[in-house]
């Protein structure tokens, strides 16, 4: 918890340094109501996501972005990196947790997924070229901290009437991946292209590659329908997008938006550290054959953007009503899991 607080203070200090063309955001994901709809999930599997961040054009030259800048020079085409429309870079602090289905068991459940918690800092850059975007992200994280246990246990104690009903107090966090702490990383490249756009509809397609604690690749398609601001087509609404990208409107005057959104993402996985484990010993990991290597992810929700301060600022609210993925595990306990989330962004 102390680590989370110190990093939070660091981000807030940096955010207050600048006073214009900036964005701050907060999000939380949960697999329980009222966040999640149209599902029976009750805080198991993907159990929690929490984060906040800051975006500003002035971050593009910051020393903290040196790692992602160095890697980008190798993998990002010059036509993107030399473009004048380099969009505001963002830094986020995030925590995410996963648990098995049966929370009351303190011993290892060999056929189910391990407990896992990851605390990480994400630095992300977004490049614009005509009707396409290319975003890159470098994440440094720590697996195996007790923060996930403390937060989940505290929430469940408030809801379960002395552990007499769901959501039960989790008993197996000592079996989490890399219990006690282990550093990890992730580098991501995400490409999106705007295929169709009107005042009421837009459609994008693209692909993504990751190397690190997730090593995978996917193709993706997404759409929005409703009252749209055509300047904000590059916005990302994926709750499992590795750190949600923040997109600054390219013109001063903001427009009101109200829309439905959805996406679909077939994914091929090579390695998932939160299932297969890392370098440090873990009481429970899954083998190659116990993991599904081809998944389907989806995301649906509703969005609202409200202009403020004479339309020079905006407040963006997104509710992911139902997101999920097909089963990651290939055992008798295999199952899809779902979650919902709330995302709030203020651009000023």
Name the percent of the chain lying above pLDDT 90. 59
Say if residues 22 and 56 touch (Cβ distance below 8 Å). yes
Position 32 confidence tier, pLDDT thresholds 50, 70, 90: low
The DSSP code sequence of 232-294 is GTT----TTSSS------SSSS---EEEEEEEEEEEEEEEEHHHH--SS--S----GGGB-SE
- The alpha helices in the chain, defined as continuous H runs, are 2-17, 66-75, 78-81, 147-159, 273-276
Name the percent of the chain lying above pLDDT 70. 84
Chain centroid to Cα 247, Å, comes to: 15
User: Residue 201 has what pLDDT?
Assistant: 97
- Mean pLDDT is highest, among 22-26, 248-252, 262-266, for 262-266
Say if residues 208 and 307 touch (Cβ distance below 8 Å). no
In tens, the pLDDT along 144-189 reads 999 999 999 998 999 999 999 988 999 999 999 999 999 999 999 9
**In whole angstroms, how far apart are CA 108 and each of 91, 143, 165, 180, 288?**
36, 18, 22, 17, 18
In tens, the pLDDT along 100-146 reads 999 999 999 999 999 999 999 999 998 888 899 999 999 999 999 99
Q: Pick 83 or 343 by higher pLDDT.
A: 343
User: Residue 173 has what pLDDT?
Assistant: 97
* 3-state percent helix, strand, coil for the chain, nearest multiple of 5: 20, 45, 35
> Across the chain, what does the average pLDDT equal?
86
CA distance 12 to 8: 6
Say if residues 229 and 257 touch (Cβ distance below 8 Å). yes
Question: What phi-psi label fits residue 130: left (phi over 0), alpha (psi between -120 and 50 degrees) or beta?
Answer: left
Give domain 2-347's CATH number out of 3.40.50.1220, 3.30.70.270, 2.160.10.10, 2.40.128.140. 2.40.128.140
User: Residue 300 has what pLDDT?
Assistant: 94
Residues in the chain: 348
Q: Which of 261, 303, 228, 318 is nearest to 26 (CA)?
A: 318
User: Residue 169 has what pLDDT?
Assistant: 94
Token pair, residue 313, equals 């600022």
Position 60 confidence tier, pLDDT thresholds 50, 70, 90: confident
From 54-68, 90-104, 215-229, 239-253, the region with the lowest mean pLDDT: 239-253
Dihedral of alpha carbons 193, 196, 197, 201, sign? negative
Residues 249-275 have a mean pLDDT of 88
User: Residue 241 has what pLDDT?
Assistant: 46
User: Residue 13 has what pLDDT?
Assistant: 43
Q: Where are the domains of the chain?
A: 2-347
User: Residue 119 has what pLDDT?
Assistant: 97
> Who contacts 63 (Cβ-Cβ below 8 Å, separation ≥6)?
none
Q: Pick 40 or 214 by higher pLDDT.
A: 214
User: Residue 268 has what pLDDT?
Assistant: 98
DSSP 8-state symbol, 311: T
- Using CA atoms of 283, 288, 294, 300 in order, give the dihedral in degrees to the nearest 10: 0
Q: Which of 340, 344, 329 is nearest to 112 (CA)?
A: 329
User: Residue 233 has what pLDDT?
Assistant: 87
> Who contacts 160 (Cβ-Cβ below 8 Å, separation ≥6)?
166, 167, 168, 169
Position 85 confidence tier, pLDDT thresholds 50, 70, 90: low
For residue 330, the tally of other CB atoms under 10 A from its CB is 16
Say if residues 93 and 53 touch (Cβ distance below 8 Å). yes
What pTM, to 2 d.p., does this model score? Answer: 0.88
CA distance 306 to 309: 10
For residue 128, the tally of other CB atoms under 10 A from its CB is 18
Say if residues 238 and 303 touch (Cβ distance below 8 Å). no
Any idea what the Cα angle at residue 41 is, between residues 50 and 218, rounded to 5°? 65
User: Residue 243 has what pLDDT?
Assistant: 43
> Who contacts 19 (Cβ-Cβ below 8 Å, separation ≥6)?
none
The DSSP code sequence of 105-149 is --S--TTSPPPEEEEEEEEEEEEEETTEEEEEEEEEEEES-THHH
For residue 56, the tally of other CB atoms under 10 A from its CB is 23
In tens, the pLDDT along 277-332 reads 999 999 999 999 999 999 999 999 999 999 988 777 889 999 999 999 999 999 99
Q: Given a cut of 60, is residue 6 above it in pLDDT?
A: no
Say if residues 321 and 301 touch (Cβ distance below 8 Å). yes
């Amino acid at each position: 918890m102390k680590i989370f607080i110190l990093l939070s203070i660091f981000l807030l200090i940096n955010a207050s340094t600048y006073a214009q063309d900036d964005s701050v955001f907060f999000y939380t994901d949960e697999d329980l109501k009222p966040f999640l709809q149209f599902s029976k999930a009750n805080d198991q599997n993907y159990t929690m996501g929490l984060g906040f961040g800051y975006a500003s054009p002035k971050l593009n030259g910051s020393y903290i972005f040196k790692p992602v800048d160095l890697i980008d020079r190798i993998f990002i085409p010059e036509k993107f990196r030399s473009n004048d429309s380099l969009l505001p870079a963002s830094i986020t602090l995030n925590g995410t947790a996963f648990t098995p289905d049966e929370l009351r068991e303190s011993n290892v459940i060999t056929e189910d997924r391990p407990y896992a918690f990851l605390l990480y800092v994400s630095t992300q850059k977004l490049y614009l070229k005509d009707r396409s975007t290319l975003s890159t992200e470098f994440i440094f994280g720590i697996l195996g901290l007790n923060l996930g246990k403390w937060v989940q246990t505290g929430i469940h104690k408030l809801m379960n009437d002395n552990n007499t009903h769901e959501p039960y107090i989790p008993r197996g966090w000592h079996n989490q991946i890399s219990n006690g702490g282990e550093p990890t990383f992730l580098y991501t490249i995400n490409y999106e292209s705007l295929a169709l756009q009107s005042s009421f509809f837009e459609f994008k397609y693209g692909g993504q590659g990751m190397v690190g604690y997730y090593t995978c690749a996917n193709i993706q398609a997404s759409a929005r329908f409703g009252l749209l601001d055509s300047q904000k087509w590059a916005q990302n609404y994926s709750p499992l997008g590795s750190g949600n990208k923040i997109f600054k409107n390219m013109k001063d005057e903001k427009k009101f938006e109200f829309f439905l959104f959805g996406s679909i993402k077939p994914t091929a996985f090579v390695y998932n550290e939160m299932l297969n484990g890392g370098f440090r010993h873990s009481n429970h990991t899954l083998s190659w054959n116990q993991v599904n290597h081809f998944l389907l992810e989806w995301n649906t929700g509703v969005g609202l953007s409200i202009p403020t301060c004479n339309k020079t600022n905006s407040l963006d609210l997104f509710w992911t009503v139902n997101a999920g993925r097909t089963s990651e595990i290939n055992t008798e306990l295999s199952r899809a899991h779902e979650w919902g989330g709330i995302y709030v962004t203020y651009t000023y």
